[in-house]
């Protein structure tokens, strides 16, 4: 079926394909490129795809082109498509219609009838880029500025230029996207090559159970990123321009005890202390003193988390200058358990704090874990825990939009299998399809260095000692299993509806049983006692499930290498283990039985490793967050400044500073890369240096 582009009144392009007619509205009067475009399928299937917030533009467009609008707005099945370019699978790209006047839109239709459009202006470069992608994926009839791509012509070499970029990223996780977005804003031609069919890596939102139930496939609590100027100062306009909106629940955490009482962590320190004082005035007072002691130093350190880390020795020397700095150094050598015992008396406080500080996947009784008590207590009162409206993936969607709006390219289903190193310099990458993408200035890997150096780089390029040290990067103490539930109603805790005001809920057993969980983990045994982390995002954001329905995220610590059967055995036991976690939750929330659960999807540690090798050995946060793999020693000192022994090859992501989690840590890395490229990061941020200026 031929794709036919025809120009209608100045601001509408329509075309037909596979018996369907599509209309695109282009309104150049609007400022944001995203707002300029509306797309709608006007005939064919009842499923009308369009950006919900563009309805008012699309409806007049339909009238303009003389098509009958659907009878009522309610008949629209709202679906976002304004960033559909990034979701485009190039292998499926079959037809496109270009605005023949050299205007502002390139649109195409996949075989399955899904329409996509590029929000990038059609200059010869970008048009060639689109055409090149289409040509490479074997599409016929692709036109670029009206001209077919004919092998051997100047136009073809123009297209081939599209396979070269200034900076090529391997992986489009949120860290890679962050770094790429800053670069693109500075006018650097970036290309992100992403193996998966969606951008965002471990920050994604998908219908993992039933249609309309939007689960976070990876990270869900956006805590540390709130301190990052990326969000705090909206440096890339993710909130003001690219559609990201945070919701901040009233309380970040609630620890629920077997006697159906609870401890709440609010951003407000006074309210938190009041909650602790209900069972221990002594601990409430100690908590406040601990906060007062740690806050000034952590405030100072927090600003450094989003820039390259200082050398470890220099950092220690500086900390050693003050009593509170010395206390921080001591905490790096103590366990959180030791510290908690020095400060607090009540079991409930001890359980709460030693659970809270294990979020980085370090056991609270391991030496060095004390630093997380030192850092996490003040941080939780300095910044609110947020969740993006619509799901975690809205962060990475906004980042992707930002990259594209500044002229960057994101290619999905593009698996890198090799890094091309010539004369000690990274010059490009090879895709599984056999295609080579060249990097004029740098290659940046968003993937764990253990994978990169073992699988993608010829061994002779680095020394055997270096490879040994990379292979010896340590996993975290434990990993986790997750289950995503589609529910009729939210968990109803025996502790009462007050629990619903918290985002993360931690139902815990009493202290001795709780401590034994970590003994089992040490021995590779799925803990007999379960203490899950429960999140019901729909209580705070009802857009994530059909009317009145709910979703739950049910996470539990488990070992990677099972004593009995190794990691491979996860395929056999994951359902049983998930059932046990659910049964533990039922003791606190009795309505979590089969009658309430509409559907469930379980992800074991092995599933995570398989779905994204950057979650190496199932580690949600990358290499272990122990102090010898932190700051400028993350993951090892030789790689601690995002550079590698190979010239122009850089690392970004949770295996580098500031470590695992939704941090936007790519902001730190990109400052190093920009400095090497001769770009002033501060000017980019302040807007003095703008892309395409
Ligand atoms: C289940 C789970 C729960 C979590 N919960 C939280 C939480 O609540 N709060 C929090 O702060 N953090 C949480 N995290 C951690 C956080 O999500 C991650 O640390 C962070 O998102 C990592 O981002 P990244 O950009 O470094 O890497 P990733 O997001 O892992 O991105 C790497 C990208 O590289 C791609 N890739 C891999 N191989 C190739 C290849 N050969 N070619 C091309 N591309 C490739 C991958 O597909 C992926 O998109 C959680 C993680 C998981 C898995």
Q: For 231-243, write each residue's pLDDT tens digit.
A: 999 999 999 999 9
Question: Which residues are CB-contacts of 646 (< 8 A; sequence separation ≥ 6)?
Answer: 419, 421, 424, 425, 426, 457, 461, 462
The rounded percent of the chain whose pLDDT value lies above 70 is 76
**Structural domains counted in the chain:** 2
Residues in a beta bridge with 116: 108
Closest by Cα among 333, 361, 357 to 344: 357
The residue out of 162, 197, 229 marking a domain boundary is 162
Residue 108's beta-bridge partner residues?
96, 116
- 201: nearest Cα among 663, 670, 668, 667: 663
Give the C-alpha distances (Å, rounded to integers) separating 264 from 352, 371, 377: 10, 22, 13
Q: Is the CB of 220 under 6 A from ligand 1?
A: yes
Residue 10 and residue 148 share a domain: yes
Pairing label, strands 436-445, 409-411: unpaired
Confidence (pLDDT) at 80: 27
Atom of ligand 1 nearest to the CA of 615: 30
Q: Is residue 38 part of a domain?
A: yes
Confidence label for 304 from pLDDT (cuts 50, 70 and 90):
confident
79: pLDDT strictly greater than 80: no
**Is the residue at 397 inside a domain?**
no
> Do residues 120 and 404 make contact, with C-beta atoms less than 8 angstroms apart?
yes
pLDDT at 483 over 50: yes
DSSP character string of 376-438: HHHHHHHS--BEETT-THHHHHHHHHHHHHTT-EEESS--EEEEEEETTEEEEEEETTS-EEE
Question: Is a pLDDT exceeding 90 seen at residue 27?
Answer: no
425 CA distance to ligand 1 centroid (A)?
A: 27
Assess whether the C-beta atom of 192 lies below 6 angstroms from ligand 1: no
Residue 346 lies in a domain: yes
Asked whether 621 lines ligand 1 (CB < 6 A), one says: yes
- From the CB of 618, is ligand 1 less than 6 Å away? no
Does residue 605 line the site of ligand 1, with CB under 6 A?
A: no
Among candidate residues 389, 70, 343, the one with its CA nearest the CA of residue 238: 389
Instruction: Please state the rounded mean pLDDT for residues 258-266.
Output: 98
Question: Residue 12 has what pLDDT?
Answer: 39
Average pLDDT over residues 511-539: 98
Q: Is the CB of 393 under 6 A from ligand 1?
A: no
Give the residues across from 143 on adjacent strands: 148
Return the SS3 of 99.
coil
Q: How high is the pLDDT of residue 689?
A: 61
Instruction: Report strand pairing: 502-507 vs 115-118.
Output: unpaired
Q: Over 80: is that where the pLDDT of 151 sits?
A: no
Q: Which of 173, 376, 451 to mutate to test the pocket of ligand 1 (most atoms within 8 A of CB)?
A: 173
Whether the predicted pLDDT of 293 surpasses 60? yes
Task: Tell me if 274 is assigned to some domain.
Answer: yes
> Is 194 touching ligand 1 by the criterion CB < 6 Å?
yes
Average pLDDT, the chain: 82
Model confidence at 688, pLDDT cuts 50, 70, 90, reads low
| pLDDT tier, 300 (very low <50, low <70, confident <90, very high otherwise) | confident
- In a domain? residue 440: no
Q: Could you tell me if the CB of 170 is within 6 A of ligand 1? A: yes
Determine the residue of 168, 169, 171 to mutate for testing ligand 1's pocket, defined as the one with the most ligand atoms within 8 A of the Cβ atom. 171
Per-residue b/e over 214-248, b at no fewer than 16 CB within 10 Å?
bbbbbbbbbbbbbbbebbeeebbbbeebbbbebbb
Atom in ligand 1 nearest the alpha carbon of residue 480: 1
The mean pLDDT value for 545-553 works out to 98
Whether residue 157 sits in one domain with residue 274: no
Q: Is 171 in the pocket of ligand 1 (CB under 6 A)?
A: yes
Q: Is the pLDDT of residue 36 over 80?
A: no
Nearest-CA residue for ligand 1 atom 49 is 201
If you take atom 4 of ligand 1, which residue's CA is the nearest one? 219
How far apart, in whole angstroms, are the C-alpha atoms of residue 8 and residue 34?
A: 21
pLDDT for residue 555 is more than 60: yes
Structural domain contains residue 206: no
Ligand 1 centre to CA of 139 (Å) is 32
Instruction: For residues 279 and 139, state if they share a domain.
Output: no
Residue 466 lies inside a defined structural domain of this protein? no
Q: Which helix (H) or strand (E) holds 674?
A: helix 666-677
pLDDT above 80 (res 75) = no
**Residue 368: domain span:** 268-298+322-382
Kindly state whether residues 33 and 151 are assigned to the same domain: yes
More confident residue, 216 or 41: 216
Residue that finishes a domain, picked among 382, 413, 431: 382
219 Cβ inside 6 Å of ligand 1: yes
405: how many CB neighbours lie within 10 A of its CB?
22
* pLDDT band at residue 163 under the 50/70/90 scheme: confident
Q: Is the CB of 578 under 6 A from ligand 1?
A: no
Do 146 and 281 fall within a single domain?
A: no
**Structural domain includes residue 284:** yes
pLDDT for 302 equals 86
158 and 279 assigned to the same domain: no
Cβ of 173 below 6 Å from ligand 1: yes
**Judgement on whether residues 138 and 276 belong to the same structural domain of the protein:** no
284 preceded by a cis bond (ω within 30 of 0)? no
Identify the domain boundary among 162, 182, 206: 162
Whole-number Å distance, alpha carbon 323 to ligand 1 midpoint, is: 37
């Amino acid at each position: 079926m031929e794709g036919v582009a025809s120009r209608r009144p100045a601001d509408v392009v329509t075309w037909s394909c596979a018996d369907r007619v599509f209309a695109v509205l282009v309104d150049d009067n609007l400022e944001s490129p995203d707002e300029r475009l509306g797309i709608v399928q006007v005939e064919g299937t009842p499923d009308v795809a369009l950006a919900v917030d563009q309805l008012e533009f699309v409806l007049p467009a339909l009238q303009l082109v003389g098509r009958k609008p659907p009878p009522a707005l309610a008949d629209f099945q709202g679906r976002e498509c304004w960033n559909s370019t990034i979701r485009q699978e190039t292998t499926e790209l079959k037809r496109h219609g270009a605005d023949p006047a050299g205007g502002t839109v390139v649109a195409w239709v996949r075989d399955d009838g899904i329409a996509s459009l590029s929000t990038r202006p059609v200059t010869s470069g970008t048009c060639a880029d689109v055409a090149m992608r289409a040509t490479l994926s074997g599409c016929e009839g692709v036109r670029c500025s009206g001209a077919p791509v004919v092998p051997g012509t100047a136009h073809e070499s123009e297209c081939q230029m599209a396979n070269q970029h200034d900076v090529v990223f391997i992986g489009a996780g949120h860290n890679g996207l962050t770094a790429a977005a800053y670069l693109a804003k500075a006018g650097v031609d970036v290309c992100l090559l992403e193996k998966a069919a969606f951008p965002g890596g471990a920050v994604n939102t998908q219908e993992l159970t039933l249609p309309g139930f939007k689960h976070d496939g990876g990270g869900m609590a956006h805590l540390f990123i709130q301190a990052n100027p990326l969000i705090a100062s909206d440096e890339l306009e993710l909130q003001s321009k690219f559609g990201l909106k945070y919701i901040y629940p009233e309380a970040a955490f609630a620890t629920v005890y077997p006697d159906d009482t609870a401890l709440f962590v609010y951003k407000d320190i006074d309210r938190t202390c009041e909650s602790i004082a209900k069972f221990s005035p002594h601990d409430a007072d100690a908590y406040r003193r601990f906060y007062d002691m740690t806050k000034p130093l952590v405030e100072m350190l927090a600003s450094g988390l989003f820039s390259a880390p200082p050398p470890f020795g220099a950092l220690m020397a500086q900390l050693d200058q003050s009593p509170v700095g010395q206390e921080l150094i001591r905490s790096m050598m103590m366990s959180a358990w030791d510290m908690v015992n020095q400060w607090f008396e009540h079991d409930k406080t001890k359980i709460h704090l030693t659970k809270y500080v294990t979020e980085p996947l370090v056991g609270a009784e391991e030496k060095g874990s004390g630093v997380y008590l030192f850092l996490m207590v003040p941080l939780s009162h300095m910044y609110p825990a947020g969740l993006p409206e619509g799901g975690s993936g809205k962060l990475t969607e906004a980042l992707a939009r930002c990259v594209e709006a500044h002229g960057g390219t994101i290619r999905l289903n593009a698996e890198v299998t090799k890094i091309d190193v010539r004369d000690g310099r990274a010059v490009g990458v090879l895709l599984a399809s056999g295609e080579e993408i060249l990097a004029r200035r740098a290659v940046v890997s968003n993937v764990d260095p253990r994978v990169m150096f073992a699988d993608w780089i010829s061994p002779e390029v680095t020394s055997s000692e270096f490879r040994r040290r990379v292979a010896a990067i340590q996993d975290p103490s434990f990993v986790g299993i997750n289950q995503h539930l589609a529910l009729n109603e939210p968990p109803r805790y025996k502790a009462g509806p007050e629990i619903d005001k918290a985002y993360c809920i931690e139902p815990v057993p009493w202290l001795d049983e709780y401590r034994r969980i970590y003994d089992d983990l040490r021995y590779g045994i799925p803990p007999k006692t379960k203490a899950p982390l429960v999140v019901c995002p729909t209580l705070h954001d009802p857009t994530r499930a059909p009317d009145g329905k709910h979703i739950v995220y049910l996470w539990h610590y488990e070992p990677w290498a099972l004593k009995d059967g190794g990691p491979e055995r996860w395929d056999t036991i994951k359902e049983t283990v998930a059932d046990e976690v659910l049964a533990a939750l039922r003791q606190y929330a009795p309505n979590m039985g089969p009658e309430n659960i509409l559907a469930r999807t379980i992800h074991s540690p092995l599933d995570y490793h398989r779905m994204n090798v950057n979650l190496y050995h199932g580690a949600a946060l990358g290499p272990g967050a122990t102090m010898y793999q932190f700051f400028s020693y993350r993951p090892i000192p030789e790689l601690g400044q995002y550079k590698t022994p190979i010239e122009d090859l850089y690392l970004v992501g949770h295996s580098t500073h500031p470590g695992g989690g939704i941090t936007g840590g790519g902001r730190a890395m990109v400052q190093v890369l920009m400095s090497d490229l001769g770009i002033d990061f501060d000017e980019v941020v302040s807007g003095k240096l703008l892309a395409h200026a």
